[in-house]
A = this chain, B = another copy of it.
Amino acid sequence: MALIVQKYGGTSVADIEKIQSVAERIIKTYTEGNDIVVIVSAMAGETDKLVRLANEAASGGDPERGEYDSLISSGELVASSLLAIVLNSKGYDAVSLQGHQIRIITDDNYRSARILKIETASIQRELQKKRIVVVAGFQGVNEKNRITTLGRGGSDTSAVAIAAAIKAEYCEIFTDVDGVYTADPNVYHKARKLKKISYDEMLGLAGAGAKVLHQRSVELAKIYDVPVYVRSSFNDDKGTLVTKEDKDMEKEVVSGVTYDKDQAKVTVIHVEDKPGVAAKIFSPLSNQNIVIDMIIQNASVEGYTDLTFTVSKKDIKQVQSILAKIEGEIGAERIDYNPDISKVSIVGVGMKSHSGVATKMFSSLAEEGINILMISTSEIKISCAIEEKYTELAVRVLHDAFGLEIEN
């Protein structure tokens, strides 16, 4: 007897048959005596279809941002209504609620709005009637009552935010993988499913390219201390619990290895090492919403330095055209572009208290002849940019080096 939030992703509700399986799972939880709020994504492929329509409608330009959000929110309207129809037809009283009906209030930042407030009254009212509440994920409304969306993967964030708002016991994220692994199982068959992982590690993995949970959902789960289970909707495995750090976890020096192939490297060679040069380079890029990931500045030699950074592969052409315009102004000798880059990272809360982790990472890669192009570190993560072709090899090497195959 608990209040439980479940979220089902697009592949879990891809067609009516799959929605019926999802309904059976919900009914099982409900008939065990739990109150249940379900968040659904759009049926797999629907959001992509809507995005294509929007781009076509804008004739190659940028679709008006508010209308774009209204349009693509329709996928979740459809999925949530269909799930409610299925539940009702199976004899269970269910009601769908859209973002505007609940009043999930967000900021004005269309396409990747942040939730500011959730009015829980409508959900509470339906739960008191012993109804199964089905919420359209991914969407909210801003103060002007325009529909907003939370960014791709945003239904995870809807789920965790609602779980926090209604003080659910836990939030289950049902997806097409059955948990969080020590590495991508498609890359290394020895990857092991983790029973538990801390919020911080999960954030580290997400930032390092693992696509299991929407980053913002993990941030919210951490802030509001919402236990999150990552589970498969296609089996009964309990999945991975994402939760706050505990003593057990500290034993794990490294919890996982992850990679991100969406990296391209830019090197600005031989610029004067003086205040303002970095700003001159990065301001025009951030003005165009280009996200810089790793940054390194070489040690200065005779007042000159090289500046290297990575961006998303899709942005590389735009970066080239922006920097071409200011190349003279920044006085660089030349600018090199390398789109064939990836990033491998190891993540683990235990790193904080263990020395030698970085050394082991670098030497393991070196033994296989993998050259490290850039390094960046945080308290619980070390990332190395490498040549893209070595990505899978690097993941396997690091997985073996840190003995991730065997549970501690």
Which A residues fall within an 8 A CB radius of B? 16, 19-20, 50, 53-54, 56-59, 61, 63-64, 66-68, 70-71, 73-74, 77-78, 80-82, 84-86, 88-89, 94-96, 98, 100-101, 145-146
Contacts and interface: CB of A to CB of B under 8 A. Distances in A.
A16 B85 CA distance: 30
A82 B73 CA distance: 12
A62 to B, nearest CB: 8
29 contacts: A16-B57, A53-B82, A54-B82, A54-B85, A57-B82, A57-B85, A58-B89, A61-B89, A63-B85, A64-B84, A64-B89, A66-B95, A67-B82, A67-B85, A67-B88, A67-B94, A67-B95, A68-B85, A70-B77, A70-B81, A70-B84, A70-B98, A71-B77, A71-B78, A71-B81, A71-B82, A71-B85, A74-B77, A101-B146
Nearest to A63: B85
Given A57-B82, A64-B89, A67-B88, 19 more contacts: A16-B53, A16-B56, A53-B82, A57-B85, A57-B86, A58-B86, A59-B86, A63-B89, A64-B84, A64-B94, A67-B81, A67-B84, A67-B94, A68-B81, A70-B84, A73-B77, A74-B77, A74-B81, A101-B146
Q: Which 10 A-B pairs have the closest CB atoms?
A: A71-B81, A64-B88, A57-B85, A58-B89, A70-B81, A67-B84, A74-B74, A63-B85, A16-B56, A67-B85
Given A16-B53, A67-B96, A78 B86 contact: no
A280 B16 CA distance: 42
Given A67-B96, A100-B100, A74 B78 contact: yes
A56 B56 CA distance: 30
Nearest to A61: B89
Contacts of A64: 84-85, 88-89, 94
Contacts of A94: 64, 67
A145 B95 CA distance: 12
A98 B96 CA distance: 17
A53 B86 CA distance: 11
Contacts of A101: 100, 145-146
Q: Which of A61, A64, A100 is packed against the most chain B CB atoms within 10 Å?
A: A64
Contact of A70 (B59, B61, B73, B96): B96
A88 B57 CA distance: 10
Contacts of A58: 85-86, 88-89
Contacts of A95: 66-67
Q: Which of A50, A70, A71, A81 is packed against the most chain B CB atoms within 10 Å?
A: A81
A89 B94 CA distance: 40
